Amino acid sequence: MNAAGAPRLTFSGIGLYHPRLFAGVAPGAKARLAPLLVEAMTRGAVTGERFDGLWIDVGTAERLAAADRAARHG
């Protein structure tokens, strides 16, 4: 909970992005997502949804394999 009593949430990496978010990025150029999102937030162009289902971080080959084993064996 934060100071106002609201739950603290985090961005988990699940996202759906409109191509307009990347309009200022040259084709083939690398860009950091966070600054693009912060700028869009200042315009009120970002929404979020709370996901209460099962979420597993599969950011490494080992964690992906563990998630696969868990899914196969219940």
Q: How many CB atoms lie within 10 A of CB 37?
A: 16
pLDDT of the residue at 70: 92
Give me the pLDDT at residue 14, please.
Answer: 80
Residue-level pLDDT at 18: 94
The string of pLDDT tens digits covering residues 22-64 is: 999 999 999 999 999 999 999 999 988 888 888 888 989 999 9
Predicted structure pTM score:
0.61
**Tell me, what's the pLDDT at 19?**
95
DSSP 13-74: S-----GGGGTTSPTT----HHHHHHHHHHTT--------S------SHHHHHHHHHHHHH-
The CA–CA distances, whole Å, from 19 to 9, 53, 57, 71 equal 26, 27, 26, 33
